[in-house]
Amino acid sequence: MPLGQKVVLIGGGHNALITAFYLAKGGFKPTVLERREHLGGGAITEEFHPGFRASTLSHTLGPLRSDVARDLQLEKFNLHIIQPEPRLFAPSPDGRGLLFHNDTAKTAAALSHLPVKEGARYTEFAAALEEMSQVFGHIASITPPAIDHPSPEDFWNLLTTGRAVRGLGKTGIFDLLRWGPMAVADFVAEFFDTELLRAAIAARGIFGANLGPWSAGSTALLLLRAAADPHPVGSAAFPRGGLGEFSRALGEAAQHVGAEIRTNAEVQQILTKGGAVSGVVLTDGEEIACEAVVSGVDPKRTFFKLLDPANLDPVFAMRMKNFRVAGSVAKVHLALVDLPHFTSLSDTVSPDSFREALSGRIHIGHEIDYLEKAFDASKYGEISAAPVLDVTIPSILDPSVAPDGKHVLSAYFQFAPYKLKTGTWKERRGELASSVIKTLSAYAPNLPKLVEAAHVITPLDLETDYGFTGGHIFHGELALDQLFTMRPILDWARYQTPVKGLFLCSNGTHPGNGLTGASAANAAKEIIHELR
């Protein structure tokens, strides 16, 4: 395809916007079509109660891959990133609490009160994770190789990956081979004895996935996430004004280099002619002719909702139908009249540091067995009575999201199955808010009296309102059999599809790891190469 030709991108999520940015810089004419009135997909800010605004779905940044951040230069578009300190607070029902600071040495020093030498072990763990992140970072930055007919570039990528692995040394290579398929509960147990410390770190290996800490391969997910941020407990950064500001800046960056963006423009169908893309049809009947289509929505929605299945080979269609997308995460937002008091802070920090200690993420799940029992409930279609929570109170550092003196509390709820064994989500959605309030009140007894309003997003809402098939926030299960050359399916992990001119760029592609921009950057490279 000659330069200057039109490419339509379906969906205005962060991956589609970043792909549009690179396509525009590459000389094409990308048009982003977003069905809702504002951009963002999973990275949006919405008012859920008068005066209270929350990052509705995602509540922290990935962070962006360093080369992507360097290319976009979002600071030029008035994006302000807040970096909380400490990064994570993990309380325990018995009144203990752990703080994970941005600085490894500071965290290690904070762990010195524990009965065993956990501080030194934490330093060792952080170093090991940093080393492994180099290998997984390289893997996340390349296009998965073609299995049957690898290209010269594939061989080069495999060679450089091999060099990165070899750089780990004999012991490091052995650890890599052992850790990848390991249950994350076993992984953290190799370093730590303290249950609260184990659970706070292990939670990263099961977040957003249908995995418990004793599930095989959950360590691989933790290591993949370390590729984006090697800190043991992950990222806690968020934009001032919420994640919607991040998406706004992405949109402006893409427009700045020539991309066109349209909201309230829902694609109803991808048109084909002779086995190749010819355009799209919007729900209002408008037809847009183009030479290529890039889907930023999940693969199942792309192939079975937007495309005529007659375009798909039966083997491909069968494999795609078996791509697992059942979500297990819900979201609860609380409007609070004041800041909750976590009792374990009294023995962790001085009173004048209480607010600061709660400014990052708050992890609820004090031991490995607690995490596993929460997962057990969802396996059988039940809502976890004692959920694992990943909580933020963004209004501490960003007062703009709540009325003066009041606060927003945003909580990821694990585990909440997409398919319930009894009842419907319409009937049982209220249980989520009640469970979050009850669970948090064991750590912050004054919380129930502070709740002015609650807003619940169930896995079914994630599908019907926000377009995530199966309610999966990562567009497909992050398990060993759905990663790298098998994401979304074997033989089609290179961002191309069986339909000529149709490409994928969402988190349903490799590496599929949240708000990092990695899927988009990798896809853009392959799309530009193919179209040229």
CATH of the domain at 73: 3.50.50.60
Please say if the pLDDT value at position 242 is more than 60.
Answer: yes
Tens digits of residue pLDDT in 313-361? 999 999 999 999 999 999 999 999 999 999 999 888 888 889 999 999 9
Domain that holds residue 33: 6-41+64-80+242-324+474-531
Q: CA 350: distance to chain centroid?
A: 33
Domain boundary among 441, 464, 487: 464
Instruction: Give me the pLDDT at residue 120, please.
Output: 94
Residues 338 and 450 occupy one common structural domain: yes
Tell me the pLDDT of the chain averaged across its residues: 95
CA–CA dist 196, 120 (Å, integer): 16
Phi and psi at residue 373, in whole multiples of 5°?
Answer: -65, -35
Cβ proximity of 154 and 193 under 8 Å: no
- With 0-12 / 13-18 / 19 or more C-beta atoms within 10 angstroms meaning exposed / middle / buried, residue 216 is middle
Beta-carbon contacts of 20 under 8 Å, excluding residues fewer than 6 positions away, are: 9, 30, 32, 254, 259, 261
Residues 135 and 203 occupy one common structural domain: yes
Give the three-class secondary structure for 328: coil
Mean pLDDT of 62-84: 96
- The residue with greater pLDDT, 372 or 155, is 372
Which tokens go with 426? 């319409």
Could you give the C-alpha distances from 502 to 35, 147, 241, in angstroms and in order?
A: 19, 20, 35
Tens digits of residue pLDDT in 478-520? 999 999 999 999 999 999 999 999 999 999 999 998 899 999 9
Q: Is residue 159 part of a domain?
A: yes
Residues 37 and 161 occupy one common structural domain: no
Please, what sign has the CA dihedral across residues 227, 230, 235, 239? Answer: negative
Mean pLDDT of 123-129: 96
pTM of the shown model: 0.96
Band (pLDDT 50/70/90 cuts) for residue 74 is: very high
Cβ proximity of 45 and 278 under 8 Å: no
Residues 341 and 268 occupy one common structural domain: no
Q: Is residue 189 part of a domain?
A: yes
CA–CA dist 496, 513 (Å, integer): 19
Residues 220 and 170 occupy one common structural domain: yes
Place of tokens 């997910």: 221
Residues 218 and 256 occupy one common structural domain: no
Residues 399 and 496 occupy one common structural domain: no
Beta-carbon contacts of 188 under 8 Å, excluding residues fewer than 6 positions away, are: 197, 198, 201, 202, 368
Mean pLDDT of 102-131: 92
Q: Name the region of 222 (left: φ>0; alpha: ψ -120 to 50; beta: rest).
A: alpha
Alpha-helix runs per DSSP H in 365-496: 368-379, 425-441, 447-450, 459-464
Residues 220 and 122 occupy one common structural domain: yes
Give the three-class secondary structure for 526: helix
Instruction: Give me the pLDDT at residue 348, please.
Output: 80
Instruction: Give me the pLDDT at residue 377, please.
Output: 95
Please say if the pLDDT value at position 269 is more than 90.
Answer: yes
Residues 345 and 299 occupy one common structural domain: no
Task: Give the pairing type, strands 276-282 and 287-289.
Answer: antiparallel
Q: Is residue 349 part of a domain?
A: yes
Phi and psi at residue 299, in whole multiples of 5°?
Answer: -60, -40
Q: Is residue 428 part of a domain?
A: yes
Q: CATH number for the domain including 436?
A: 3.30.519
Counts for the chain of helices (H) and strands (E), in that order? 18, 19
Q: Is residue 261 part of a domain?
A: yes
Please say if the pLDDT value at position 1 is more than 70.
Answer: no
Q: Crossing angle, helix 14-25 and helix 518-531, to 10 degrees?
A: 40
Phi and psi at residue 356, in whole multiples of 5°?
Answer: -60, -40
Residues 497 and 512 occupy one common structural domain: yes
Instruction: Give me the pLDDT at residue 256, please.
Output: 98
CA–CA dist 387, 374 (Å, integer): 5
Instruction: Give me the pLDDT at residue 209, please.
Output: 96
CA–CA dist 365, 202 (Å, integer): 10
Mean pLDDT of 414-437: 97
Q: What is the DSSP letter of 351?
A: G
Q: Is residue 57 part of a domain?
A: no
* Domain count across the chain: 3
Mean pLDDT of 288-292: 96
Residues 320 and 303 occupy one common structural domain: yes
Q: Is residue 527 part of a domain?
A: yes
Domain boundary among 201, 226, 251: 226
Q: Is residue 296 part of a domain?
A: yes
Which of 501, 36, 19 lies closest to 267 in space, CA to CA? 36
Mean pLDDT of 250-278: 97
Could you give the C-alpha distances from 1 to 80, 257, 475, in angstroms and in order?
A: 38, 20, 30
Domain boundary among 226, 252, 272: 226
Q: Which amino acid, 476?
A: G
Which tokens go with 94? 């018995």
Task: Give the pairing type, strands 292-295 and 6-10.
Answer: parallel
Give the number of other CB atoms < 10 A from CB of residue 254. 28
Residues 418 and 333 occupy one common structural domain: yes
Band (pLDDT 50/70/90 cuts) for residue 3 is: low
Distance in Å from the first CA to the final CA of the chain: 5
Could you give the C-alpha distances from 126 to 70, 188, 194, 285, in angstroms and in order?
A: 25, 12, 16, 54
Band (pLDDT 50/70/90 cuts) for residue 4 is: low
